[in-house]
């Protein structure tokens, strides 16, 4: 077996794929190394839900046989990865991060896992998450069957929720890429806090069959990786129509960086206040430098205002109504009391009381939001703002301890999820040795544009190459 140096764990999917193709390393060697590292170091960050070394090694051996026969599937062949523990993997426990489901087993795979298997990728483990992906509204980072997600850059800081384990695994070199999910910030926040690249796809582009439902009209599954390019490769593998997901958009995605528009042709809307007054004071120099680096790519930065809507209350009403319906059996059984966060228990119980008239009114306003953003994206190709206002918060700090400052693009995460918009978060600097990030948001199915912006930024900077 080849001796793999420590740098292998922070290589990109593209780099690892090239090594496998050149026979510098076998799939089995790579998968063994990552599976061992995940099993050994995952608990250090409360990131590991379920190791799958035996299944992974068997799959890797089959990949090596295919490669030997000349059957090449593409850039993910032989690449190890992990998934958030709300995705079912046949015959294995899927806990949804919550005690009431600690022994839950499904007899089928999530569609995305089957798609990645078809691409030759190898699942090495399931990754921790906030219980029920935050359903009910959690107040504490410790709201998880696995404990609070600890940030690989500083274990006194939070890794972000609810896809905490997925972002941690990539940041700590436990997996080259991982899948997470977002309903309202659960990909963008952990990507920003952990210094990795995270992609929230357009609603309906990636099948959610086999994933825990939190909100039928808001949930999305997307990748975490080291680079925008890697995210594009993974998205191509997992996207596509699926009759088993009634929210499927019926569209495929092909990552085509070779056809990207010139950066100078892109108009990117922004609010200067996001990078000054609304950003944490200590993070402002890093964000100013990131904005300057973004300008260097050639994009046209245009001052823009978001359409004015009560994004938070609208999203909360829709989410509460849908999660109340989804988790009614849990609430009615009394097992909801087994959750770790009292605020979440209370929130789930209260969600049963959302009136139909309030839900329908919120859905009508949501349609107005979608129309308003369609008009906005007739004027700009994308929007850019900070991933979060600053670096990761202390792991013992309640989530409601800091309120977002008004103005600028405040509410863009809720707005983007309500309108089903794709977004890409990527590292753009450091504050007190902790990463901070930018996020770019675009109209539906504009993933190639967002990935091109991310790739151009990463070509001119090296923040994505830093690791704990």
Question: Catalytic residues, which ones?
Answer: 84, 162, 186
Is 383 in contact with 415 (CB distance < 8 Å)? no
Beta bridge pairs of residue 138: none
DSSP letters, 24-36, are SS-HHHHHHHHHH
Show the tokens assigned to 332. 């009615």
Q: What are phi and psi of 370, to 5 degrees?
A: -60, -40
Is 224 in contact with 166 (CB distance < 8 Å)? yes
Is 248 in contact with 207 (CB distance < 8 Å)? yes
Close Cβ partners of 441 (under 8 Å, ≥ 6 residues apart): 382, 383, 384, 385, 412, 416, 421, 422, 423, 450
DSSP letters, 353-420, are T--HHHHHHHHHHHHHHHHHHHHHTTT-SEEEEESSSSSPPBTTS-GGGSPPPSSTTTTHHHHHHHTT
Residue 107: count of CB within 10 angstroms of its CB: 7
Cα separation, 172 vs 82, whole angstroms: 13
Angle of helix 447-460 versus helix 284-296 axis, rounded to 10: 110
DSSP letters, 130-143, are SGGGGTT---STT-
Show the tokens assigned to 389. 């206002």
Determine how β-strand 122-127 pairs with β-strand 80-84.
Answer: parallel
């Amino acid at each position: 077996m080849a001796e793999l140096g420590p740098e292998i764990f922070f290589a990109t999917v593209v780099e690892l794929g090239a090594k496998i193709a050149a026979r510098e390393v076998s799939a089995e060697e790579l998968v063994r190394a990552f599976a061992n590292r995940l099993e050994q170091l995952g608990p250090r960050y409360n990131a590991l839900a379920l190791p799958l070394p035996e299944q992974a090694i068997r799959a890797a051996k089959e990949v090596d046989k295919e490669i030997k026969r000349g059957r090449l599937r593409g850039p993910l062949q032989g690449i190890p990865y992990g998934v958030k523990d709300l995705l079912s993997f046949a015959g294995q426990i899927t806990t949804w991060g919550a005690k009431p489901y600690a022994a839950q087993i499904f007899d089928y795979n999530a569609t995305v896992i089957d798609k990645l298997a078809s691409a030759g990728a190898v699942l090495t483990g399931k990754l921790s998450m906030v219980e029920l992906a935050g359903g009910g509204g959690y107040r504490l980072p410790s709201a998880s069957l696995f404990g609070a997600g600890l940030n690989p850059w500083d274990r006194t800081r939070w890794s972000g929720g609810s896809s905490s384990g997925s972002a941690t695994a990539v940041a700590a070199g436990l997996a080259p890429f991982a899948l997470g999910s977002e309903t309202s910030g659960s990909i963008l926040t952990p990507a920003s806090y952990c210094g990795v690249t995270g992609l929230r796809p357009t609603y309906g582009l990636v099948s959610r069959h086999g994933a825990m439902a939190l909100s039928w009209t808001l949930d999305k599954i997307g990748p975490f990786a080291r680079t925008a390019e890697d995210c594009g490769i993974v998205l191509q593998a997992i996207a596509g129509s699926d009759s088993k997901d009634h929210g499927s958009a019926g569209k495929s995605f092909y990552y085509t960086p070779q056809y990207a528009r010139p950066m100078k042709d892109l108009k990117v809307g922004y609010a200067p206040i996001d990078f000054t007054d609304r950003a944490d004071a200590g993070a402002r120099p890093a964000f100013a430098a990131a904005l300057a680096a973004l300008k260097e790519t050639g994009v046209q930065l245009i001052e823009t205002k978001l359409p004015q809507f009560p994004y938070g209350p609208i999203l909360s009403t829709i989410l509460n109504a849908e999660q109340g319906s989804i988790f009614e059996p849990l609430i009615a059984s009394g097992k909801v009391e087994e959750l770790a966060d009292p605020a979440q228990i209370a929130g789930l119980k209260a969600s049963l009381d959302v009136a139909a008239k309030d839900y329908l009114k919120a859905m009508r306003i949501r349609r107005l939001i979608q129309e308003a953003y369609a008009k906005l994206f007739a004027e700009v190709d994308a929007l850019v703002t900070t991933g979060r206002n600053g670096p990761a918060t202390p792991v013992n700090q309640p989530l409601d301890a800091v309120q977002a400052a008004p103005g600028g693009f405040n509410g863009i995460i809720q707005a983007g999820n309500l309108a089903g918009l794709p977004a890409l978060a990527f590292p753009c600097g450091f504050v007190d040795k902790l990463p901070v990030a930018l996020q770019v948001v675009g109209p539906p199915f504009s993933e190639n544009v967002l990935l091109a912006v991310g790739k151009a930024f990463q070509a001119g900077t090296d923040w994505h190459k830093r690791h704990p």
